[in-house]
Amino acid sequence: MKLTKTAPAAVAEGDIRASDADRDRVAEILREALAEGRLDPEEHAERIDTVYRAKTMGELEPVLRDLPAARGSRPQPDPGGAAYGPGAPVPDQNLVAIFSASVRKGRWRAPARINAFALFGAIEIDLTEAVFAQQQVQINATSIFGSVEIRVPENITLRSNGSGVLGSFEVEFNDAEDADAPQVLVNGYAVLGSVEARPKRGAWIRDLRDRLRDGRRDLRHQLREEHRERHEQLRQEVWEGHLRLRAERRERRDRFRK
């Protein structure tokens, strides 16, 4: 008799194990719902507790079922690698400098597309401390009698597709060793102006990702502590109410006996 091997049963989507990034993403939606008044503090605390106790994607779905963020789709597993920061997609950003200067730097969430236009002005885009919410960022840079300067971490991929017309369009190509590292593509042109993009030596996105992970861990701890304190407060209020009712019943009983 010939034995046949049966293929293992596929895991249902709701049974997929939830990651820390999945829980953080759902918690962020709940925080926005609290800020918008869609949830009151008690509902928010209950759902946050459910989120950080969830083991699977199916356990995360109910906490978002009645919120606008959940209308399009159920929570999706974190694909890993490409997503470097939590939260919803960032809208496109426009930077304009006309006889002026525009600077974007520090710790900020980089959108999928940045449009930069400099006319007799200067624009600086510094991505060395940015949170990459997606793997690819496209920068459309136009410089007319102006300048656009772009700095990126040295462990990401940097590419360009631009040209200079009586101007300078210089991009220092860079290939990241990690295939899942963020990619920055610089497009556009420079007319009697300049567009320059290059890695900033010594700036590594890995360091920022470590800090973000530590920040998420501290945030989860803070939320759990807040929930524990709220739960203890509610339990104390219930107990005090119970004692008041007992005292009132005893007082009524004593008056009846008299």
Residue located via tokens 């990241």? 176
Domain boundaries, the chain: 13-78+208-252, 93-203
- What pLDDT, on a 0 to 100 scale, did the predictor assign at position 120? 93
- What pLDDT, on a 0 to 100 scale, did the predictor assign at position 228? 77
Whole-angstrom distance, CA of residue 197 vs CA of residue 173: 9
CB 86, CB 26: distance < 8 Å: no
Residue 231, classed as helix, strand or coil, is helix
* Pairing outcome for strands 101-104 and 122-126: parallel
The one-digit pLDDT tens for each residue of the chain (258 residues) are 555 545 455 556 667 888 877 887 887 788 778 777 788 777 877 888 788 888 888 888 888 888 876 544 445 444 433 345 545 567 888 999 999 999 998 888 888 899 999 999 999 999 988 888 788 899 999 999 999 999 998 888 888 888 888 889 988 888 877 777 888 999 888 989 999 999 887 666 654 445 555 556 666 777 777 777 877 787 787 788 777 878 887 887 777 776
- What pLDDT, on a 0 to 100 scale, did the predictor assign at position 93? 87
- What pLDDT, on a 0 to 100 scale, did the predictor assign at position 79? 42
H/E stretch holding 165: strand 157-165
* Pairing outcome for strands 122-126 and 147-153: parallel
- What pLDDT, on a 0 to 100 scale, did the predictor assign at position 89? 65
- What pLDDT, on a 0 to 100 scale, did the predictor assign at position 77? 47
Among candidate residues 123, 152, 219, 137, the one with its CA nearest the CA of residue 185: 137
- What pLDDT, on a 0 to 100 scale, did the predictor assign at position 184? 92
- What pLDDT, on a 0 to 100 scale, did the predictor assign at position 207? 46
The helix-helix angle for 41-53 and 20-35 (nearest 10°) equals 170
Cα distances (angstroms) measured from residue 121 to each of 14, 56, 198: 52, 51, 20
Among candidate residues 197, 97, 187, the one with its CA nearest the CA of residue 144: 97
| Confidence (pTM) | 0.48
Cα distances (angstroms) measured from residue 94 to each of 100, 102, 113: 15, 10, 9
Quote the DSSP letter at residue 5. Answer: P
Whole-angstrom distance, CA of residue 73 vs CA of residue 70: 6
Number of helices and strands in the chain (H, E): 4, 12
